[in-house]
Amino acid sequence: MKIARLSKITFLFIIILSGTFSGNKLLAQQKMIGPYLQKMSHDEVTISWSTYEGVTEIKNSDKVIQDVSQYQQHQSIITGLEPNTTYTYDVFKDGTDIGKGSFTTFPEEPKPFTFVTLGDTRSRHDVHQKIVNRIIKEDPLFVVNTGDLVGRGNSIPDWEHFFDINDRLIRHTPYYTVLGNHEQNSDNYFNFFSLPGNESYYFFTVGDALFIVLDMDGEDINTPAYLKDENEDEFWQNISRDYFEKEKKWLENVLNLNKDAGYIFVFFHPTYYSIKKSRVAEAEMRREFWGDIFERHHVTAVLNGHDHYYHHAKHGGTDYIVTAGGGAPLYDTDAIQPETVKYKKIEHYMRIDVKKKHAILKAIDINGQLIEEIKVKKRK
Ligand SMILES: [Fe+2]
């Protein structure tokens, strides 16, 4: 969890609107979220969970306006582990299965492994659940969600749905996340997740493979009171530019320091190449700002979300993939680009097998059918 944003808040104040969540786990006597795994390395892991602490009822006359519930966030940082080793854990040791899970530490040396990427899981919970059920069968070493995990980052019921759907997966599989616009830069996101670095943009390694997560959403700043309509656009452009310039320098530095990486996978939420007409210009602006940075550093693949379909584009030797078929309503593909290699309007996820000399990226649809298979050579 991000300490700066937490301001030592111990309790999450949770607004449960009418129509409370009915997931089995939350109806159980020990109402809680998790446990779930993050910040895995070859010798360390963070196990997080939240326990329900109570509820405050807010009324107007006799009408209940909202129930404000409280969860307490917990985490255990386990150190001194052996690489590439499977462990079991039990955060309660109370004789029940509620706090039990297992994990496998990352390898320290280059070694074949499989990971999964999906995105935009924010709605259609039945679709999200089906995709998660398929991912569990893939038994990945870890999962990366390319953003828009939930519909509204400020809504705790949305997060309860998210964690309930993922419960069987994330108590056994580390889950890395990318900030999407629907996360609303909310404190809930930073409270629930423990991510490396500043948590908005960060990197981690598995053997000689480098994984970089970028934040293309921008800084969380309240609109200053002095802002007027006529200068608001300029203010936000300047603020965002400062933030992204700093992030770009950080990225260049990380890439320069990891020149020998066998594979480099970069994740961010909005697209670099869009085939949705209303977003083509926005993607072009993004490419103008970030330029050829991914190609110049021979990034293995860039993986985005945001546009709800599957899209594979290729430019300058780098594969740009949009994987955003995790649950949000699908978009029409109405502006195919010269860089487009393959596209399909379908719910899906990516299984990526990192091998000794190459990686195989498979786009797999919700029914288990292969959409596309991409083979990418190891960098060195
Ligand atoms: Fe989005």
Q: What are the tens digits of pLDDT across the range 118-134?
A: 999 999 999 999 999 99
- Which is more confident, 108 or 16? 108
Tokens of 214: 């970028």
Q: What is the mean pLDDT of the chain?
A: 89
Q: How far is the CA of 197 from the centre of ligand 1 (A)?
A: 23
Asked if residue 338 has a cis previous peptide bond (ω within 30° of 0), the answer is: no
Q: How far is the CA of 42 from the centre of ligand 1 (A)?
A: 32
DSSP symbol at 42:
S
Tokens of 215: 């934040």
- Dihedral of the alpha carbons of 168, 172, 176, 180, in degrees to the nearest 10: 10
Flag whether pLDDT at 220 surpasses 70.
Answer: no
The pLDDT of residue 246:
93
> What global pTM score does this model have?
0.89
Q: How far is the CA of 371 from the centre of ligand 1 (A)?
A: 22
Flag whether pLDDT at 342 surpasses 60.
Answer: yes
Flag whether pLDDT at 25 surpasses 70.
Answer: no
Query: Which residues lie across from 264 on neighbouring strands?
Result: 210
Q: How far is the CA of 71 from the centre of ligand 1 (A)?
A: 27
Q: How far is the CA of 118 from the centre of ligand 1 (A)?
A: 13
The pLDDT of residue 45:
98
Q: How far is the CA of 279 from the centre of ligand 1 (A)?
A: 11
pLDDT classification of 226: cutoffs 50, 70, 90: low
The pLDDT of residue 21:
37
Q: How far is the CA of 181 from the centre of ligand 1 (A)?
A: 5
Q: How far is the CA of 304 from the centre of ligand 1 (A)?
A: 10
Flag whether pLDDT at 213 surpasses 80.
Answer: yes
What residues does the ion ligand 1 have nearby, CB within 5 Å? 148, 180-181, 306
Flag whether pLDDT at 20 surpasses 60.
Answer: no
C-alpha 28: how far from its chain's center? 28
Q: Average pLDDT, stretch 196-221?
A: 90
Task: Give all domains of the chain, ordered by start, each with its CATH number.
Answer: 109-377 (3.60.21.10)
